Amino acid sequence: MNKILLGVIDDFAEEQAKGFDLNHSGSDTFFIVRSKNKLFAYKDSCPHYGDTTLPWKRHHYLNNVAEYIVCAAHGALFQIENGKCIQGPCLGQKLTKVPIEISEQNEIWIDQTIIKEFNL
Ligand code: FES
């Protein structure tokens, strides 16, 4: 099996995010956001500064009105649909999008090669 099951779409409420720690290292390395009935996955690394992770608390990737992904370090805001920073110190830069797959049974999968390639 070359893929890892991450869950099912119904694990996510609308405008909700969840981080994943596939290596059980104690830190999430990527996250998935459900927005407008679509899922978006990004590496948990802010383009502003090194490998800084985004949330101030586990799974808290969205701002208080759940309109944008937010980096807690310096307040950068990113569009959920494309990861582009629209406010903050990394204006115009993007979060790294992580490819995930959705099966016909609404299962969410990630390929092992993606995990290696993105160092997740
Ligand atoms: S490290 Fe994310 S905004 Fe500075």
- What pLDDT sits at residue 6? 97
- For residue 95, report the distance from its CA to the centre of ligand 1, in Å: 11
What pLDDT, in 10s, does the model give residues 96-116? 999 999 999 999 999 999 999
Instruction: Centre a 10 Å sphere on the Cβ of residue 113 and count the other Cβ atoms it contains.
Output: 11
Q: How far is the CA of 71 from the centre of ligand 1 (A)?
A: 6
Average pLDDT over residues 68-84: 98
- The parent domain of residue 105 ranges over 3-117
Structure-block tokens of residue 28: 């999430």
- Residue-wise pLDDT tens digits, 20-39: 999 899 999 999 999 999 99
Task: Give the strands of the sheet with 107-111, arranged side by side.
Answer: 3-8, 107-111, 101-102
Domain CATH for 98: 2.102.10.10
89 lines ligand 1 (CB under 6 A): yes
Return d(Cα 74, Cα 20) in angstroms, integer: 22
**Has residue 55 got a pLDDT over 90?**
yes
Q: Is the CB of 46 under 6 A from ligand 1?
A: yes
Q: State in Å: Cα 68 to ligand 1 middle.
A: 14
In which band, very low, low, confident or very high, does the pLDDT at 51 lie, cut at 50, 70 and 90?
confident
38 strand-pairing partners: 35
Counting the structural domains of the chain, the total is 1
Q: Can you give the pLDDT at residue 108? A: 98
Q: What is the pLDDT of residue 1?
A: 66
Residue nearest to atom 4 of ligand 1 (CA): 74
